[in-house]
């Protein structure tokens, strides 16, 4: 709703048109500010759960536990695999060197694991609920909102 009045025009904007112009500029600024705030918040997160190693996942979980974001059970869940690899040197074909260097999407992996657990008839409601809670917490931390359906 910005007027097509140019500098060479002899027509002056009406009071109503001037108000509409100001509203359009204000709305545009608000949208840009909100987008910038969202992107800044995501970038300012201490950890990127969409691209980290098992070692980084373990360290992030411990830190988030100390900050009160994760429960003791959740930190145990997120650190267990790395700690076993660290202790034994290898677990399920993953070496300590791989655990320290190969990056992956933690949230994506949790979703895949949840899907596999649900397809097994032995999965209890508690196990499914624990996965869903963990995914929700990490999505909220990572993106500022829950993205799973």
3-class secondary structure, 37: helix
Residue extents of the structural domains in the chain: 1-44, 54-143
What was the pLDDT predicted at 4? 40
**pTM given for the model:** 0.68
Which pLDDT belongs to residue 45?
A: 78
pLDDT of residue 122: 72
Among candidate residues 95, 91, 70, the one with its CA nearest the CA of residue 81: 91
């Amino acid at each position: 709703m910005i007027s097509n009045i140019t500098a060479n025009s002899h027509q002056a904007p009406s009071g109503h048109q001037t108000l509409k112009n100001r509203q359009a500029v204000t709305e545009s600024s608000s949208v840009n500010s909100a987008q910038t705030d969202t992107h800044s918040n995501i970038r300012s997160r201490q950890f990127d759960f969409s691209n980290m190693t098992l070692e980084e996942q373990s360290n992030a979980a411990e830190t988030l536990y100390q900050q009160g974001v994760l429960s003791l059970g959740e930190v145990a869940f997120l650190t267990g695999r790395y700690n076993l690899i660290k202790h034994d040197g290898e677990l399920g074909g993953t070496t300590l060197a791989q655990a320290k260097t190969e990056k992956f999407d933690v949230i994506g992996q949790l979703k895949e694991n949840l899907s596999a657990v649900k397809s097994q008839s032995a999965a209890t409601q508690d196990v499914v609920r624990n996965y869903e809670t963990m995914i929700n917490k990490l999505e909220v931390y990572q993106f500022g909102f829950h993205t799973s359906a």
